[in-house]
Amino acid sequence: MASHTKWANIQHVTGRAARAARARAPADGSGAVRYEGYGPGGAAVLIECITDDRNRTRADLRRAFSEHGGQLGADGSVSYLFNHVGLMTYPPGTDEERLIRAALEAGAEDVVPNSDRSIEVLADPMEFETVRAILTDRGFVPAAAEVTERASLTTPLSGEPAERMVRLLETLEELDDVRNVYSNVEISDEVLARI
């Protein structure tokens, strides 16, 4: 958790439980389901689960939110704040001008330089593999690449609400049925360093 980009820019948390849930065979009656809620300070949280018992999963999520000062929301309560995107991340030191030119020529939707000098390239999920292949062919191999959810607006938190939010996100990612957790929270480096 070296910077606020852990959740604010990537909005994606994957834990041990998530890997186990993804590995679960679909033949066991499990199905994908999405839950939404609000964390401390009103930060939006979107949770993707694979479960064979939606009532148990909802109860586990409700308990996690309640213990950390948040609340589980209704369908559609926060999903409108997120966009489904292809995301490629490049480390600091990448030639920004060349990458921007190559990415836009390849069909990327946006190129976002970050304060830590890393660069994110956003693409339509349907075009993601094509854009990544073109950029890789031109010498721009991403440090990370995935189709994910990205918040359109961030909610900055500091102090106790930020600490409670981090604990909520960590608790959610440890739940057995949780596959992915996305949030629009922006937490400062100094708060993350204290935790």
- Can you spell out the DSSP letters for 22-77? HHS-GGGS-EEEEEEEE-GGG-EEEEEEEES-HHHHHHHHHHHHHHTT-EEE-TTS
- pLDDT attached to residue 115: 85
- pLDDT attached to residue 28: 60
- pLDDT attached to residue 1: 29
For residue 188, CA distances in Å to 28, 85, 97 come to 41, 24, 28
- pLDDT attached to residue 195: 72
* Architecture per CATH, 83-150: 2-Layer Sandwich (3.30)
Judge if pTM exceeds 0.95: no
- pLDDT attached to residue 190: 76
Give the right CATH number for 4-80+152-187 from 3.30.70.980, 3.40.1280.10, 3.30.70.270, 3.40.309.10.
3.30.70.980
Task: Calculate helix-pair angle for 54-67, 159-174, nearest 10 degrees.
Answer: 160
pLDDT (tens digit, 0 to 9) for every residue of the chain, 195 residues total?
A: 233 334 444 344 444 444 444 444 444 678 999 999 999 999 999 999 999 999 999 999 999 999 999 999 999 999 999 999 999 999 999 999 999 999 999 999 999 998 889 999 999 999 999 999 999 999 999 999 999 999 999 999 988 999 999 999 999 999 999 999 999 999 877 777 777
**Per-residue exposure over 92-111, b if at least 16 CB sit within 10 Å of its own CB, e if not:** eebeeeebbebbeebebeeb
For residue 168, CA distances in Å to 18, 70, 72 come to 15, 8, 12
- pLDDT attached to residue 48: 96
User: Which residues in the chain are classed under CATH 3.30.70.980?
Assistant: 4-80+152-187, 83-150
